[in-house]
Amino acid sequence: MRPYAWLPWPLRWLARVLTIFLALAVVLAGVLVYTVRQSFPQVEGTLRLSGLSGNVEIYRDKSGIPHIYADSSEDLFMAQGFAHAQDRFWEMDFRRHTTAGRLSELFGAATVETDKAIRTMGWRQVAERELPELSARTRRYLDSYSKGVNAWLQANPNASDRSLEYSVLKVQNGGYTPEPWTAVDSIAWLKAMAWDLRSNLEDEIDRALALTKLPRERVEQLYPGYPFDEHEPIVTQGAIVEERFDQQAKPRQEEPATDARGAAALAQARKTLDALPATMGGPDHEGIGSNSWVVSGRHTASGKPLLANDPHLSAQLPSVWYQAGLHCREITEQCGFDVTGFTFAGLPGVVIGHTDKIAWGFTNLAPDVADLFMEQVTGDTYLYKGEQVKLETRREEIKVAGGATVTIDVRSTRHGPLINEVMDDVKPGDGANAVALQWTALMPGRTADAIFALNEAADWHEFRAAAALFDVPAQNLVYADTEGGIGYQAPGWIPVREKGDGTWPVPGWTGEYDWKTAPIPYDQLPSVENPAEGYIVTANNAVIDPRRYQPLLTKDWSYGYRSQRITDRLKQEIDKGQVDAATMSRIQQDSNNGLATTLVPALMEVELAGPSARARGLLKGWDGSQGLDSAPAAYFNAVWRHLLKLTFDDDLPEAARPSGGDRWYEVVRRLLAAPDDLFWDDTTTEQVTETRDDILRQALADAYQEVSGLLGDDVGSWRWGDLHQLSLTHGSLGTSGIGPIEALFNRGPLPVPGNKDAVNATGWNVQKGYAVTAVPSMRMVVDLGDLDKSRWINLTGASGHAFHDNYWDQATLWAEGGLLPMYSRKESVREAAVHTLRLTP
């Protein structure tokens, strides 16, 4: 009997069509499953790897985190390159195209503007100049790493062998084949890292753009000084004495200066900066920051130090970090590494973590290492000290998949590339008509040397020697060792200016604001060993009070709300008894809003009626915590969003409007004491002059309207986690605009607690809504009393392969504030291993 013969004819026809569709769906699903799984790495058994000198073992735990064991450093880094490529090669390939300004070779015309911006900066060229200046040892390790990557690449020649992304790309760009990996590919990623941790460049432009609408004194109100009396700096003692920083020395003093013009050129420069990809930081450089702190054994349960770190970067999938252990089976001169921590796929070594003797963490020091010079350009020359000097010019050809090659001419003055010229032409006019960028990372440095030196350091002196090589990006380094020592070191190439303080664009033609040839000497940078209080806290706050320290590091610090909260919590915990790793983790999860104690009393004093008065009742007695279930946090953050928009959007050009964060905490805190300040007035209401209370009242009302529209009229049922959510977006294909492709790679959303400048710093932009844009990208707590009791978590997972078990398996635990064991002793690593791969020559 024929199938469906018993059905009426129309239903028989429909049944056959449905059968065909189901069969096609099954076939397509099978093809998709096969394609997805085809690229999953081999993690068991034995593989031969040409170029190894001895056997290597790679143990992976249930989270897919590899620990690599070898007898030579070269084998160790070759195996690291192989493991990185197994799990993350698409990410590595995408990153190197980003740093070289070659994204259009992958994605066509859609990324030409980004490539123009990167080519103008010249990241790849700087990396090429940097390689020969590195030590022979570092170059050897970089080459070994490249061999490992290329061994994997040769073994996986087909798109379906490499990852799902290559199969998707093949549909649009079937002719693309990845090139072999090189040492320069690794070094160039350090330039991207430096770019995202570059400090105050946007502030510099925004000040000047704000000046086009406001007088200078009102712009200065938006950039208040650091509140040293309320928020402690990192280093609370010491000064420079006899050309060295002495932590016991007493202080001295000094001043500033600036200039700004050429608004059209600056607006174009801002467009160039906006076109640069956020490789580690969020959109518009939002949320960049970090927490790290270290506690002496005097205050801990084990009697040995504890160190915590959580860098705040953009929310990417996969996470920017890759956890790994790199272990020489026996520590010898030929193989001196026993290090566990967070790595970057594409770069050998461990960036943040611990050896068998020391631990270290990073936060962004954020010194002013980039300046904008307004230039007077005429034809192919620029004015400098009364003379017309020839511009340096180089031609860049951008290959475009499916399109014609795009050619740009990058022109530079003595101060750096003209960053305003690559997006749209700026019409020449009187005075400044171009903007040059001078930035320390556009000079070759030795940061790659520093990473390997850190990975072998065994004590404070070796750690400081390694930090001396860390040119860019300048970071706050906290330190602890198994002998009981703790410390802090500020490293980095930080310029000394002839004049000015780096807060405004300056005229380049006078020569007055040029950088001196030498940076601040390393021995003069702030450093502390074993401070009397027994702890050191860094959270992008001021390093040291300028009344006790010159030369200038920067004026654009984070304002210390996070750092002071950590300090206060630490003092409370120390007073209660001994601190342990669980204590450190609880502090990392602190969600307190540092503005609440200032703003809530002002909101409660405003005369208010109607439903917004009922919502305001949520704030009565609120402790400032911002947990997932908090109704007060949902309402308060909505009030904050509308307060900033109502107060400042009418006064500022779009690029300079507030995104939130603790600079705006300080601005509003000071404005609350000035109820008739001009900023309170809404310039769009010509017949009315608003005061503070008018704007506060309107913010309360607007916030109620918005949140009730999103979450309903029952204010008691509002939850901060229903507004404040993290979507994990694939770093390259996750914003393709093609729904099915995005669904393959993106995950979430996850509700998360915290806020932009809470210790649990989950950033969001008040101009755009409550969605999370930047996060603690990982968390780590190292116990120097027993390294196997250390804990860690990554934002997503070890694997970059969509649908792999380890693609985002750490994300839920991360959102809940949990941590995984951070094993490093071989016995513990082997016991936790669920997969063992042996690599042989």
Q: Six-digit token pair at 689?
A: 């002059």
Q: Is the preceding omega at residue 157 within 30 degrees of 0, hence cis?
A: no
Helix, strand or coil, per DSSP, at residue 495: coil
pLDDT of residue 625: 98
- Sign of torsion over alpha carbons 102, 107, 111, 114: negative
Domain count, the chain: 1
What is the rounded distance in angstroms from the CA atom of residue 811 to the CA atom of residue 729? 12
What is the rounded distance in angstroms from the CA atom of residue 733 to the CA atom of residue 808? 16
Instruction: Decide which of 275 and 573 is more confident.
Output: 573
Determine if residue 400 is left, alpha or beta; phi over 0 gives left, psi from -120 to 50 gives alpha, anything else beta: beta
What is the rounded distance in angstroms from the CA atom of residue 693 to the CA atom of residue 534? 45
What is the rounded distance in angstroms from the CA atom of residue 48 to the CA atom of residue 488? 44
Give the DSSP letter of residue 744.
Answer: H
The CA distances from residue 308 to 199, 268, 414, in Å, are: 23, 41, 42
> Quick check: is 135 in a domain?
no
What is the rounded distance in angstroms from the CA atom of residue 494 to the CA atom of residue 513? 15
Average pLDDT, the chain: 91
Question: What are 248-301's pLDDT values in tens digits?
Answer: 887 644 333 333 446 667 666 666 666 666 555 444 445 578 999 999 999 999
Please give the share of the chain, as a percent, with pLDDT higher than 90: 83
The reply to whether 368 sits in an annotated binding site is yes
Exposed/middle/buried for residue 294 (C-beta within 10 Å: 0-12, 13-18, 19+): buried
- For the segment 34-61, the average pLDDT, to the nearest whole number, is 92
The residue type of 259 is D
Examine the pLDDT at 641 and tell me if it is beyond 60: yes
Q: Six-digit token pair at 654?
A: 């779009």
| Domain interval for residue 659 | 596-625+627-723
Question: What are 733-764's pLDDT values in tens digits?
Answer: 999 899 999 999 999 999 999 999 999 999 99
- For the segment 714-727, the average pLDDT, to the nearest whole number, is 98
Examine the pLDDT at 241 and tell me if it is beyond 80: yes
- For the segment 98-103, the average pLDDT, to the nearest whole number, is 96
Question: What are 376-427's pLDDT values in tens digits?
Answer: 999 999 999 999 999 999 999 999 999 999 999 999 999 999 998 865 544 4
Examine the pLDDT at 808 and tell me if it is beyond 80: yes
CATH of the domain at 681: 1.10.1400.10
Give 197's pLDDT tier (boundaries 50, 70, 90): confident
Please give the share of the chain, as a percent, with pLDDT higher than 70: 90
* Closest-CA residue to 451 (of 527, 339, 373, 526): 339
Q: Is the preceding omega at residue 753 within 30 degrees of 0, hence cis?
A: no
Give 191's pLDDT tier (boundaries 50, 70, 90): confident
Helix, strand or coil, per DSSP, at residue 228: coil
The reply to whether 371 sits in an annotated binding site is yes
pLDDT of residue 167: 94
Question: What are 502-531's pLDDT values in tens digits?
Answer: 999 999 999 999 999 999 999 999 999 999
The CA distances from residue 704 to 614, 642, 755, in Å, are: 9, 10, 19
DSSP symbols for 160-219: HHH-HHHHHHHHH-TT--PPPP-HHHHHHHHHHHHHHT--SHHHHHHHHHHTTTS-HHHH
Examine the pLDDT at 25 and tell me if it is beyond 80: no
pLDDT of residue 425: 45
- For the segment 227-245, the average pLDDT, to the nearest whole number, is 93
What is the rounded distance in angstroms from the CA atom of residue 647 to the CA atom of residue 380? 44
What is the rounded distance in angstroms from the CA atom of residue 342 to the CA atom of residue 351? 6
The CA distances from residue 20 to 30, 157, 653, 772, in Å, are: 15, 34, 58, 43
State the catalytic residues: 290
Give 199's pLDDT tier (boundaries 50, 70, 90): low
pLDDT of residue 279: 56
- For the segment 635-664, the average pLDDT, to the nearest whole number, is 96
Buried b / exposed e over 560-592, threshold 16 CB at 10 Å, is bbbbbbbbebbeebbeeeebbbebbbebbbbbb
Give 209's pLDDT tier (boundaries 50, 70, 90): confident
pLDDT of residue 421: 83
Q: Six-digit token pair at 701?
A: 């009302």
pLDDT of residue 200: 74
Exposed/middle/buried for residue 492 (C-beta within 10 Å: 0-12, 13-18, 19+): buried
> Quick check: is 392 in a domain?
no
Question: What are 587-629's pLDDT values in tens digits?
Answer: 999 999 999 999 999 999 999 999 999 999 999 999 999 999 9
Exposed/middle/buried for residue 28 (C-beta within 10 Å: 0-12, 13-18, 19+): exposed
> Quick check: is 719 in a domain?
yes
Exposed/middle/buried for residue 386 (C-beta within 10 Å: 0-12, 13-18, 19+): exposed
Q: What torsion do the CA atoms of 656, 660, 666, 668 make, to the nearest 10 degrees?
A: 80
Among the residue ranges 192-201, 225-234, 394-403, the one predicted with the least confidence is 192-201
What is the rounded distance in angstroms from the CA atom of residue 362 to the CA atom of residue 34? 41
Helix, strand or coil, per DSSP, at residue 305: coil
Give the DSSP letter of residue 363.
Answer: E
The CA distances from residue 35 to 32, 445, 523, 541, in Å, are: 5, 42, 55, 48
> Quick check: is 667 in a domain?
yes
What is the rounded distance in angstroms from the CA atom of residue 411 to the CA atom of residue 394? 7
Whose tokens are 């059209």? That residue is 264
Half-sphere exposure of 102 (CA within 13 A, CB side): 16
What is the rounded distance in angstroms from the CA atom of residue 104 to the CA atom of residue 697? 49
Instruction: Decide which of 241 and 30 is more confident.
Output: 241
The reply to whether 481 sits in an annotated binding site is no
Q: Six-digit token pair at 760?
A: 């649990």
Q: Six-digit token pair at 831?
A: 């016991």
> Quick check: is 665 in a domain?
yes
Half-sphere exposure of 163 (CA within 13 A, CB side): 26
Q: How many CB atoms lie within 10 A of CB 737?
A: 7
> Quick check: is 672 in a domain?
yes
> Quick check: is 663 in a domain?
yes
- For the segment 796-824, the average pLDDT, to the nearest whole number, is 98
Note the helical H segments in 649-769: 662-671, 692-711, 720-723, 739-745
The CA distances from residue 777 to 71, 97, 366, 795, in Å, are: 32, 23, 18, 5
Buried b / exposed e over 638-663, threshold 16 CB at 10 Å, is bbbbbbbbbbbbebbbebbbbbbbbb
Question: What are 54-92's pLDDT values in tens digits?
Answer: 999 999 999 999 999 999 999 999 999 999 999 999 999
Whose tokens are 């050619």? That residue is 407
Phi and psi, residue 322, nearest 5°: -140, 120
Determine if residue 680 is left, alpha or beta; phi over 0 gives left, psi from -120 to 50 gives alpha, anything else beta: alpha
Q: Supply the angle between the helices 662-671 and 596-604 in degrees, to the nearest 10.
A: 40
- Specify the length of the chain in residues: 841
The CA distances from residue 647 to 63, 612, 688, 698, in Å, are: 47, 19, 14, 10
> Quick check: is 641 in a domain?
yes
pLDDT of residue 202: 80
Question: What are 120-150's pLDDT values in tens digits?
Answer: 999 999 999 999 999 999 999 999 999 999 9
pLDDT of residue 771: 97
Examine the pLDDT at 33 and tell me if it is beyond 90: no
Question: What are 330-350's pLDDT values in tens digits?
Answer: 999 889 999 999 999 999 999
Q: CB–CB of 192/95 below 8 Å?
A: yes
Question: What are 703-716's pLDDT values in tens digits?
Answer: 999 999 999 999 99
- For the segment 653-660, the average pLDDT, to the nearest whole number, is 93
What is the rounded distance in angstroms from the CA atom of residue 208 to the CA atom of residue 269? 12
Q: Supply the angle between the helices 692-711 and 631-648 in degrees, to the nearest 10.
A: 130
pLDDT of residue 427: 42
Question: What are 424-448's pLDDT values in tens digits?
Answer: 544 434 478 999 999 999 999 999 9
Whose tokens are 């294909």? That residue is 733
